[in-house]
A and B are shown apart, each in its own frame.
Chain A
């Protein structure tokens, strides 16, 4: 059976993850190569040092290819960062045919209108996430050939800072790597973190990374909101470093070994020992110092997400609850903190059983999600989805806007 090779890349603040997989004619996916290494040049989810990032990405891809024994032909990339903004856009069209049945061109007109909204010159669309069609106000999965007067469609459209996007593309260009498409980290991660029934029942997936926290809200199986809060595990570490007068390395250890997301009264009675920063020697302090610092920051992250979602964050719309993933979701009692702050029951994402043991940790949901989307997009190209009709994927459109060769 012939196969092509696809690669998924996530360039996060703390780590770069590269997955290489064989994609067979029957659409099965076989992961054959993997590398995960410390990322450099990324802060709070955004590219800040081109050369450092470029070197780390190059190394990661090279190592992954070595472990796979093949070169990746095309790469799918995950994008995050505080510069991402989204909005709901609606398009509608009257059903034109004399028989009153929805035709393909009606659908296309509605879609076109929904995506028409112009952006400021420095912004570029990354993703239009389709939400259900409405025929005369009724939700419909497949509108074609049904009777109706009016068809409407909504898209949750996310746009990005053009400069950031072209920096990323430039990075891959200089490494002579072709980027097939860019996927939002929040979307990639969410897809991996919850199964179809949770998506249909409604749920909020929150991926707390090192530099940023990505989230995606599902309703009836569609993503209706995404977002990025530019705060992550590094902020928890930094808060501890400042509050306890430690260097970052030691603070990170304290966070992992002793950290908890919720302050409990008994913490004040528990003493912990730290190693001093310099030759001064060990220090004792109450566990409450650690938990108070972390509780404040964690609560704030969730509260910021809650503010963005407003009324959408309601347990009655979220049968699947809140699902936490990302490296920082390992923090003790983070589900408790999330439930309290969001008013919706929260749990950690299930570990994926279809991947190898060392890929099951919460920090890999994004890179696995990217690969999954690469896989899905390859399928869709053959099936010819209307959204891809304008050329090979969204990236082609971005390339045309920016005049860079694809």
Chain B
């Protein structure tokens, strides 16, 4: 990724961009990305687990919460993560001081990421930064508690992020090989996030046929909260345009399913070969608008890679459901994450309404609407269908990690 100084020699102040990987998962993902970062991008990882950090090849590493966790990690306890966040608030503020754009990468469901990421995002937001967050959600098989912790954290992160790209681990299984191990699936997650950050960087810094700049991106993202639509894909050779478009729909980071596309604003970044023409760009943007329906504005950046031909890389970033932002009441303190105890199902059958998180409780609906991993398709806008903590609207095959081939 080219550094901002190189691309904008005329500008007096280039935006300060940081990439921070927080917690075990986030740190691993960012470590993978680091070698690809240009000079102008500040990359750092932070964790409460000192040993995990030691293994990473990075210059900027920070162990947090020594006073509480003594460098041993949070052990999957988000309350401990929050405690560390409170204790280290000063360090967190200092980590993001002067940042214009923060890429925050974290894996939710455990202690450090879930407990600390919302605090870090908020600190960055408070001092005026644009925040783009990548957050992994645990596999369904990791159990309900981790899922709940992840979702509570996700809700807080959404409030403090301009764009929040959710990476559901369940969906990654779909894209991996039959015999892939969990470790390999995690690597796949890291790759996607790395690609995601690079693509964002390209949106900002690659000068080409049509340009986007920092303030345009900021405007397009429309401020904190709301849902993010994000996808990346590439293809080459015969039928490369169709293939790239198809791959765009199949990207595991695309959290909005067929029935509910419709971004309020859409950012499109294209990289093509030397045969990429303005009319092709125009046609592609039209297809994308049809699929992802930009109600307000579509911002387009397009770059030509002279060394290639019959090649297309597409990255889209959109903001949707701006009306949901009404529901965000500004919070001055981060509420404690308390694990919820499922209600006693009582004397047997008839319905699944016994769970306190169930959609039968009116007050919960607002809260629940905002927590979406984009896996519910036609039920996306309905209340959760909770049965003993499992959302039955999420496809069974996804919850069980059954790999489906969508193509021969």
Q: Point out residues on A near B: beta carbons under 8 Å.
A: 43-44, 48, 81-88, 158-159, 161, 225-231, 234-235, 237-239, 241-248, 271, 276-281, 283-286, 288-289, 292-293, 296-297, 299-300, 304, 308-309
Contact = CB atoms under 8 A, between A and B. Distances in A.
B350 A84 contact: yes
Contacts of B245: 278, 280
Contact of A278 (B287, B347, B387, B397): B287
Interface residues of B, number: 42
A283 B360 CA distance: 41
A292 B397 contact: yes
Interface string B50-91: 000000000000000000000000000000000000000000
Interface in B239-283: 242, 245-246, 249-250, 257-259
Interface in B331-362: 346-354, 360
B350 A244 contact: no
B182 interface: no
Interface string B219-256: 00000000000000000000000100110011000000
B374 to A, nearest CB: 9
A231 B386 CA distance: 11
Nearest to A161: B360
B348 A239 contact: no
Contacts of A309: 349
A242 B257 contact: yes
B337 to A, nearest CB: 27
Contacts of A158: 350
Of residues B257, B349, B385, B408, which shows the largest number of chain A Cβ atoms within 10 Å of its Cβ? B349
Nearest to A278: B291
A234 B408 CA distance: 25
B406 interface: yes
Contacts of B290: 278
B404 A308 contact: no
Contacts of A279: 287
Given A230-B385, A293-B395, A244 B406 contact: yes
Contacts of B377: 238-239, 241-242, 248
Contact of A241 (B352, B378, B400): B378
B257 A85 contact: no
B385 A285 contact: no
B393 A85 contact: no
Given A235-B392, A285-B405, 5 more contacts: A231-B392, A243-B395, A277-B249, A308-B348, A308-B349
A226 B354 CA distance: 16
Nearest to A186: B350
A88 B382 contact: no
A215 to B, nearest CB: 9
A16 to B, nearest CB: 19
B287 to A, nearest CB: 7
B408 A84 contact: no
B406 A285 contact: yes
A209 to B, nearest CB: 15
B407 interface: yes
A245 B404 contact: no
Contacts of A85: 346, 348-351, 353-354
A286 B353 CA distance: 38
A241 B406 CA distance: 10
B379 interface: yes
Interface in B290-324: 290-291
B375 interface: yes
A292 B346 contact: no
A150 B351 CA distance: 33
A244 B404 contact: yes
